[in-house]
Amino acid sequence: MKRFLALATTAALVLGSTNAVAFGSTFADINTVPWPGAAAFIDEAASLGLMSGYTENGKKYCKPRNNVTYCEATQLMYSIMKTYYKQDVTNDTITKWKPIMDAYKIPSWAYNAVAYSLDKGILVTNDLSKFMKGNTQQAATREDVGVIFGKALGKVYTVDMNATLTFKDASSISKASVPYLDLLYDKKIMVGDDYNKFNPKVNINRSEMAVLSVKTYKLLTGSSGGGSTTTPETPSSGSVTGTIVNASVLENGDLFCGVKTSTGAGLNLFGKKGTAKAYYDGKEIEFSEIGSGDSVTVTYANGDIKTITVTKSVNGIGNKQTFDLVDMTSNKITVKDGSKEKTYTMTDDVKVYLDEKSTTPSRIYSALDNGDDFSVTIYLNADDKVTKLYATTKNDNPKTGVLTDLDDDELTIKVNGKSYDYDVDSNVEVKDELTDLSFKDLKKRYDDTDFNVTLTTNSKNVVTKITVNYAEDELNGVLTKMTSRDITIEAQGDSHTYKLDSDADVKVDGKSKDIDYLKDNYKDTSYRVALTINRYDEVTDIVAVKETMSNSKGIIKDITSSKIEIKDKDGETHTYELLDDTDDIDVTINGRSSSFSDLKKKYENYDYEAELSFKNKQVSKIKAVNTEADEGQLRSIDKDEITIVVDDDKISFDLDDDVEVELDDEEITLSKFISKFNDIDDLENFDVKLKFNKDRTKVTKIEAETVSSRRDVSGKLTDISSSRVEVDDKKYYLSNDFRKSKDVGGDVDNYDDLKKYFDKGDKYKVELKLDRNGDVTYIKATER
């Protein structure tokens, strides 16, 4: 038997260009329809190019009582939807789902329809088990076909997930099918028989299929009056305020949305990627952040959106967060948030994407089981449930190393003796702070010059930018010595010394300087230099920049005695060598001078963002800030800023203009809280927990609890410096009022003597008195 479904005709591909035409039936068996009204629908389905019938012995037959297969029903739904959206399924989508379709023996003529349905969530993989038995197509039931069409229409109209059905045989209908069959009932597309039965398990025949297809087509193209919701129309131009009924980002990145206006009318609008703009709260947003139920104002021309502004969001705009994925089930995900793990529940209709393509949760957690790593960006609604999830496969290959090979479309870098290959974009950008190096120059010079580079890649891991961190050859290296007459650089493990021309030009960080400037500063600041020499090997030009790496700022992921690994804002990891003696590394933590060993202990408990400085390619300075702490003891507060103590460190945060305050579980104004803090005596203080805005730039809520201050500490003195003491390895800072000559007692007379004797090897037991901020006001030292 030949298949009876045809793809929509060329004329039908233009939305609204195909109209029903009344004419005598061309089917020889039209009088065999199951009920009289079916004949008109069969003829109309043929006129719309949806059902072509069969030709046998020179005559056309519609065979109205024959069953319809799952493949045929899906093909018919797809023909209608692609006419509506004015867009065909892409080859990439078909390729993605082909292994699945082949596994279920789906015939090739149905690939487009089935791939589209799988990609849009109209079908799930398990549904395909009903389509075929061996190589034979299976007849579809009324319930299953209704769900296929209902889910397709659910991309345009709102689906009531709590709906109920009043059919006498409603108990025979699967609970999961009810919302979609309810939508068809509401639109007067599938309404049951004369006995108010739906007959869900009965196979659907060609006559019923004709009714379903024609009604669906006419509903979507605006030529049907059925349904309780106004049929959307495609307008010409204007401005409108309303509510999003449905919003979808299409395969090519365009936006399709249905808007129910404030007058009750419906509009179908398309927003072209790169042309239409979406806004919320004065900022441009992505199309994917617009959702059903959002209140919007839209300006459009010729049916295309110019601007769409979300005035009220149901699921929250911009409430997205990015993490490393730890685990995933069918309805939950677990992510790594700094040093902690968090679990989120996904909504029933969650949209899931993998590497920018629509997918299912099962495909991601299967890949996790196979050892793949992912970063995820999740969108949360008001209930903190995930409404959208974008997973990106992580490529852990290093992006910083020595360039060892380069041609027009490929390059190789070497890191720790291992080589890594990357494809190169045809429009790759090259950046070098010292010289105006071009891609062509880089190709010529890399054989003779060691270029340490950092690569920027796109989502396909193709290199789009090459940043030169430093170059090393006889004329490029790190400045190691400078006099009025000579300059010495180190490169490729060798030193190179040159005489200076008396009129040598000097540029430092882009500004003209003189020889004396470099001579006075090179010992304290590490400079990478590029030299130009004349025929007498005298240096005529010096271009110098402070030694940096292109990705020198990020969250600390690992610290050893010789290396530090950070993760930048793009999720890439970078590993750098430390100074040979880590005690020489200048370390600050939250603005306070500290030590490398102290940082090595602390980063394991919280996320610390580090900004690195370099000397001869080794990390010589680390500025670390705790970016994760949200609980501690209150140290100070005013209307703009709050400072808390966490792990002996003071950390300050800006306050939001509308910051909320709770003290001992009761709401209080910020001004009253400040007054209470200023008025409490030395025996009390406040423990606080802070909540932040999405960017963690401002505190939006302070939860405070009154606690008694711990005023006395005793134990073994384990370290002492000019500003602090350590007791049993815990740091205590001297208060601003501490007097080194008077506020020390016991076996020593003053603070300087205590430090001097301790450094010589004397051992002490100490008793500290602390103020309400936990700072030392008095020390009693007893020699052990």
pLDDT (tens digit per residue) in 599-627: 888 887 778 889 998 887 788 899 988 87
What are the distances in angstroms from CA 511 to CA 435, 506, 542, 543, 545?
Answer: 14, 8, 11, 9, 10
Report strand pairing: 340-354 vs 386-393. parallel
* Poorest-pLDDT segment among 151-165, 298-312, 539-553, 678-692: 678-692
Measured in degrees and rounded to the nearest 5, phi and psi for residue 67 equal -75, 160
Residue type at 733?
Answer: Y
Rounded Cα distance between 734 and 756, Å, is 17
Q: What is the pLDDT of residue 686?
A: 84
Range among 71-85, 304-318, 671-685 rated most confident: 71-85
CA torsion through residues 65, 71, 77, 83, sign: negative
Number of H helices, E strands in the chain: 13, 47
Rg of the chain taking only CA atoms, in angstroms: 36
Is pLDDT above 70 for 710?
A: no
Q: Are 374 and 392 in contact (CB under 8 A)?
A: yes
- Mean predicted confidence (pLDDT) in 647-669: 86
Return the minimum-mean-pLDDT range out of 301-305, 313-317, 349-353, 637-641: 313-317
What was the pLDDT predicted at 10? 24
**pLDDT on residue 603:** 83
Pick the closest to residue 250 from 87, 77, 113 (CA basis): 87
Q: State the pLDDT at residue 554.
A: 87
Stretch 759-775: mean pLDDT: 85
Span 537-573, pLDDT tens digits = 999 999 988 877 767 888 888 899 889 988 887 777 7
Q: Which residue bears the tokens 């180190």?
A: 490
CA–CA gap between residue 563 and residue 683 (Å, rounded):
45
User: Residue 87: is its pLDDT beyond 50?
Assistant: yes
Is pLDDT of 503 > 60? yes
Q: Would you state the pLDDT for residue 426?
A: 87
Report the pLDDT averaged over residues 131-152: 93
Task: For residue 311, report the phi and psi dihedrals to the nearest 5 degrees.
Answer: -95, -25
What pLDDT, on the 0 to 100 scale, is given for residue 374?
A: 85
How many Cα atoms occupy the beta-carbon half-sphere of 759 within 13 Å?
9
| Cα within 13 Å of Cα(384), Cβ side | 5
Q: Which pair of tokens denotes residue 44?
A: 């109309």
What band does 17 get if pLDDT is binned at 50, 70 and 90? very low
Q: Assess whether pLDDT exceeds 70 at residue 402.
A: yes
Cβ atoms 7, 81 nearer than 8 A: no
DSSP state of 205: B
Position 230 scores a pLDDT of 41
Give yes or no for a contact between 528 and 434, defined as CB atoms under 8 angstroms apart. Answer: yes
β pairing state of 776-783 and 744-746: parallel
- Strands lying side by side in the sheet with 764-770: 730-733, 724-727, 712-720, 764-770, 776-783, 744-746
With 0.85 as the threshold, say if the pTM is over it: no
Q: What angle do CA 569, 572, 577 make, to 5 degrees?
A: 105
The pLDDT assigned to 449 comes to 85
- Please answer whether residues 775 and 735 qualify as being in contact, where contact means their C-beta atoms are separated by less than 8 angstroms: yes
Q: Identify which of 519, 622, 606 has the alpha carbon closest to the alpha carbon of residue 564.
A: 622
* Cβ partners under 8 Å of residue 330, min gap 6: 361, 362
Q: What is the pairing mode between strands 563-567 and 553-559?
A: antiparallel
Report residue 121's pLDDT band, with 50, 70 and 90 as the boundaries: confident
Spell out the residues 6+ positions from residue 562 whose beta carbon is closer than 8 angstroms to its own.
577, 578
Q: pLDDT category, 225, cuts 50, 70, 90?
A: very low
Q: Cα separation of 699 and 692, whole Å? A: 4
Nearest-CA neighbor of 646 among 592, 714, 700, 566? 592
The confidence score (pLDDT) of residue 233 equals: 47
Residue 709 has pLDDT above 60, yes or no: no
Q: Which residues pair with residue 663 across a beta bridge?
A: 666, 704
Q: Is 94 left (phi over 0), alpha (psi -120 to 50) or beta?
A: alpha
Helical ranges in 595-743 per DSSP H: 596-602, 670-679
Q: Which residues contact 554 (CB under 8 A, 6 or more apart)?
A: 566, 567, 568, 569, 574, 609, 610
| 3 state DSSP class of 651 | strand
Measured in degrees and rounded to the nearest 5, phi and psi for residue 612 equal -105, 145
Angle at 119 between CA 372 and CA 233, to 5 degrees: 145
